[in-house]
Amino acid sequence: MAQKASPPSEFPKRYTLSSPHLSPDGGSFLTKLLRTIESSFCVTFREHIAHPAFEKPREQIHAANEATLQHLFGVVKWEDGRSHTAQAFEVRLKSFRAFQTCFDRIMQDSVKFAKRIPGFSDLLPEDRMVLVQSGCFELACVIFSFYVDEESQTFCGPGNFTLSQSQMWLAFPMSKKFVNLLFDFAFQVQSHRLEPLKLGLLLAVLLVTPIREGLTSREEVTWLRDLICQAFRFELMVTHSDGVALFNHLVSSIREELQRLAAEHRRQLDIMRAAGFTFQNDLYSETFSLV
């Protein structure tokens, strides 16, 4: 019986010498990437980006915050509840549940987005797993910026769960340092005002990173990342006279902040687990080995 032919790979022939039919060169790949990445981003993350917090009316955010305080403390004014219940275990647990639900949903969609990146499906299965497991939280942090309003410094989560940054310092079980890093990173992402095409390319650059531990074929990951970086630089050069410098600053600064954020997040999860917190059984918990 004839052996079934393998599907064509996205990788240029320099990395796929075993078959004469393997497809396109780098130029063709770049064209496909630039043609598809914007729609992939918009379709995959539609739930998170359709109604960003920073476009919500102030009165809507205020009303949602009062409803959240009523849910947490039984009062609608922060001053009435903060003094004696903000540190209560149940309050902190409810706050974390909202955070975990938000991040779990984004991380699930980050996995879907990864599969839509041209060339990603041609990486070795074990390398795809490494990149997704180590990178989906970082992608989620970028998308989380759509849930934060800078003017009111407020997190507007799923189900209208709404707390200000200062309220989270007391009502959230992770450290004030983590909360500040999370909000500051969201404000940083927002400040660049990247449209969907550039956000999609940024996420692809962050995900396809050859420095991840445990990769089997670093060469293929490096090749794919280089092509994605070329596409991102090109798009920035189209709209900015200093596109190359902007690319270098954007990627390096966001990567640096994500490393700080991820390290503090991991440290806080360890502290929470030691304190007896229980975690929902979802992708977020699975990614960080919490269940």
Query: What CATH number did the domain enclosing 164 receive?
Result: 1.10.565.10
Residue at 289 is within a domain: no
State the pLDDT confidence band at 243, using cuts at 50, 70 and 90. Answer: confident
Residue 19 inside a domain? The answer is no
Tell me the mean pLDDT in the region 152-156.
98
Instruction: Report, as an integer, the average pLDDT of 186-201.
Output: 96
Does the predicted model carry a pTM greater than 0.95? no
Residues 246-264 pLDDT 10s: 999 999 999 999 999 999 9
Question: Among residues of the chain, what percentage have pLDDT more than 70?
Answer: 87
pLDDT value at 104 more than 50: yes
Most distant pair of Cα atoms in the chain: their distance? 76
Q: What is the pLDDT of residue 74?
A: 78
Domain containing residue 238:
25-284
Q: How far apart are CA 3 and CA 274, in angstroms?
A: 53
pLDDT at 145 over 60: yes
pLDDT at 240: 86
Does residue 102 sit within a domain? yes
Q: Is the pLDDT of residue 14 over 60?
A: no
- Using alpha carbons, select from 257, 279, 55, 51 the residue that is nearest to residue 142: 257
Confidence band for 17, pLDDT divided at 50, 70 and 90: very low
Q: How far is CA 20 from CA 14, 120, 217, in A?
A: 11, 20, 21
pLDDT confidence of residue 24: 45
Q: Count of domains in the chain?
A: 1
Q: What is the mean pLDDT of the chain?
A: 89
Residue 161 lies in a domain: yes
Q: What confidence score (pLDDT) does residue 56 get?
A: 96
Q: Which two tokens stand for residue 249?
A: 């600053």
Domain annotation covers residue 9: no
Partner residues linked to 162 by β-bridges: 156
Structural tokens at position 166:
């200062």
- Predicted local distance difference test score (pLDDT) of residue 88: 83
CB 116 within 8 A of CB 82: no
103 in a structural domain: yes
For range 37-59, the mean pLDDT: 97
Here the tokens at position 264 are 């503090």
Domain presence at residue 194: yes
Q: Indicate if the pLDDT at residue 83 is higher than 80.
A: no
Residue 214 located in a structural domain:
yes
